[in-house]
Amino acid sequence: MSRTPRALLSLGAGLAAALASVIGVPTTAHAAAPSYVALGDSYSSGVGTRSYLSDGTGCQRSSYAYPRLVAAQKGYALSFQACSGATVSTVTSGQLSALSSGTDYVTLSVGGNDAGFTGVLTECAKPGWMSNCNAAIDKAQAFITGTLPGRLATLYAAIKAKAPSAVVVVVGYPRLFMGEDCNAATFFSPAEETRLNATADLLNGRLAAAASAKGFKWANPTSRFTGHAVCDSPEWLNGLSSPVSESYHPNRLGHASGYQPLVAGLLVG
């Protein structure tokens, strides 16, 4: 049996490719995956999932966080910038460099740390006789209504300038409580929980307004997390935890069942 020389096979393949380019027949090619940049604070980095990437930072980024889950689901190329403790200022100074005119998708959660929500929770968790919860909430609400909108407008404008063609999804914060406190070491009263939930709603309202003003999409997690607050069954939000940094953040279920389907449905177009 005769065999076709390798040189002849190679020549034939080359001629076929050249002919395809001349007559317009498509050849096999792999398109670059859409570019997705995840910006924000601990609610985007994945604090609360108890498992973090060894990336040389203290950002506590998790494979169980919704940006990683959404990117895997959709086949997007993820630049995971979100970092625990981030504020509007640190997102601006430390995360926006990942954006470019070629960025296709952006998610962002920020504002809670600016309003000092961790400090508010710490104050309100104390027994009533040693806490000034209402004053702490009043201060946070005043900041959210008076100062935060200007900061958000500046940040969102910077995102728009750096990634003008990107679909941007601003991601909000869930209500943490459902009317009772099942943690033995915390002392949230029902009235305090109601005010804390109202503060989360107030923050979400300002985030939504700023997003709308810039033409960004808004991902409101409130309804998805209803029935899954701290002490609910199953809870998607950690109560007081060890280490304390895991407390009052979405757990793995919160990211996979709460945030992932919400964000994935908007991160298109």
Containing 80, the helix (H) or strand (E) segment is strand 77-80
Is residue 226 within 8 A of residue 244, CB to CB? The reply is no
Q: Which one of the listed residues 45, 79, 109, 249 is annotated catalytic?
A: 249
The SS3 of residue 108 is strand
Residue 165 among the catalytic residues: no
Q: Which of 42, 45, 131, 247 is catalytic?
A: 42
Q: Is 42 a catalytic residue?
A: yes
What is the rounded CA–CA span in Å between residue 266 and residue 260?
Answer: 10
Tell me which amino acid residue 141 is: Q
CB 81 within 8 A of CB 37: yes
Do 239 and 230 meet the contact criterion of CB atoms below 8 Å apart? yes
Ordered alpha helix ranges (H), 108-227? 117-124, 133-146, 148-162, 190-214, 222-225
Q: Which residues are catalytic?
A: 42, 249
